Amino acid sequence: MKRINVTRSSMPSLEEYEEEIRPIFESHQLTNMGPVYKKFQKQLIEYLQVPELSLFVNGHMALEMAIDALGLKQEQGEVITTPFTFVSTTHAISRNRLKPVFCDIRPDDYTIDPAKIEPLITEHTVAIIPVHVYGNVCDVEAIQKIAEQHGIKVIYDAAHAFGVTYKGKGIGNFGDASMFSFHATKVFNTIEGGAIAFHDKAYGMPLHELKNFGIHDEENIPAIGANAKMNEFAAAMGICNLRRMDECLRRRKAAHDRYFERLSGVKGIKLCEPQKEVVPNYAYMPVCFDETEFGATRDEVFRKLAAHDIYARKYFYPAVNELNCYKCYSDQKTPIAHRISTHVLTLPIFEELSTDEVDRICDIILH
């Protein structure tokens, strides 16, 4: 039996990629927002149905720079965010010298609980950074209302939500900005890459400058930027993978539906139910195990699968506010995030995972 990891990168054929990078070998323009970058950017704007989009070297730098471009770097500034995420979300806040304020999550879809946001708002709050975790859509309406009432910004970490739509709109249309990640392990990849989607054209220039050392023109460098540009080879990979998205989603859905057939209704197992008015992307397959009802702990299931060369992941364990680098915030209690992080396992799901393999994984879990 072959080893199965939690994910496997989707890739085009070598010939198809070769075709796409041929012009780069002819022009010798390898980076700095060249023609392939621009072509890919245009295609993505269409695919994601967003008005504006800036491409980055990865999702993390995109989020770090969005926080800066939106003018949120303020003395003593605080950002309300979720502890149930990849540590990148919190790092992007902290590396901008802002204080993360952890808000607990909802027990059903694991996104930030809007009912718990308001009590955390202080005179120092500058923004909310929620996460569409596993591609589950946050309560964008409630979050928007709170943000407007308090005059604060919202930046979504949409790293998991590529291609998701809510009420017929691309997920990148909510809040002031949304970050997408195109890392090799995500639903859609450019090897490494990321983007910020936004609607206020005013953010376009600062984002563009920040990712290119703050350079406005040769003699004029108004901002202290860094280097976070997407290169032409990554953009070419994006063009190839975007072409394959429908096929990729169709196959992910088949694996996802098979998991649901096998696991839903099993005592002690909780799956994320489909959300209303959401077109999902089947990015992850999170399963919560209740040891008293299921008869095994999350860690026992994890080890049992590993013994069969199947590698599920404990996304996201520990919760971010329980990591050593954020222990200083351990007084901020988020019991639901703690409970989910200690009980959840994300099972393998990727384009090439067959329904037979899903059956094998489910057989091991259930027997």
Ligand X SMILES: *Cc1c(COP(=O)(O)O)cnc(C)c1O
Residues at the contact surface with ligand X, assessed by CB under 6 A: 58-60, 85-86, 88-89, 131, 157, 159-160, 181, 183, 194
Q: Is the CB of 7 or the CB of 181 nearer to ligand X?
A: 181
Residue count of the chain, please give it.
367
For residue 302, what is the enclosing H or E element? helix 298-307
DSSP 8-class letter at 138: P
Q: How far apart are alpha carbons 127 and 70 in whole angstroms? A: 10
Q: How far apart are alpha carbons 94 and 301 in whole angstroms? A: 34
Q: Is the CB of 86 or the CB of 166 nearer to ligand X?
A: 86
Beta carbon of residue 9, minimum distance to ligand X (angstroms, whole number): 13
Q: Is the CB of 49 or the CB of 185 nearer to ligand X?
A: 185
Beta carbon of residue 160, minimum distance to ligand X (angstroms, whole number): 6
Beta carbon of residue 185, minimum distance to ligand X (angstroms, whole number): 7
Q: Is the CB of 131 or the CB of 345 nearer to ligand X?
A: 131
Q: Is the CB of 70 or the CB of 131 nearer to ligand X?
A: 131
Helix (H, G, I), strand (E, B) or coil at 342: helix
Which residue minimizes CB distance to ligand X? 59
Q: How far apart are alpha carbons 226 and 56 in whole angstroms? A: 11
Q: How far apart are alpha carbons 237 and 43 in whole angstroms? A: 13
Q: Is the CB of 159 or the CB of 353 nearer to ligand X?
A: 159
Q: How far apart are alpha carbons 169 and 255 in whole angstroms? A: 25
Output the six-digit token pair for 72: 């949120």
Q: Is the CB of 58 or the CB of 231 nearer to ligand X?
A: 58
Beta carbon of residue 184, minimum distance to ligand X (angstroms, whole number): 9
Beta carbon of residue 63, minimum distance to ligand X (angstroms, whole number): 6
Q: Is the CB of 172 or the CB of 263 nearer to ligand X?
A: 172
In the chain, which ranges are E strands? 4-5, 52-56, 78-81, 99-102, 125-129, 153-157, 165-166, 169-170, 177-181, 194-198, 269-271, 278-279, 285-289, 310-311, 344-347
Beta carbon of residue 65, minimum distance to ligand X (angstroms, whole number): 12
Cis peptide, bond prior to residue 174, ω within 30 of zero: no
Beta carbon of residue 351, minimum distance to ligand X (angstroms, whole number): 18
Q: How far apart are alpha carbons 321 and 329 in whole angstroms? A: 6
Query: What is the sign, positive or negative, of the torsion defined by CA atoms of 287, 290, 296, 299?
Result: positive
Beta carbon of residue 134, minimum distance to ligand X (angstroms, whole number): 9
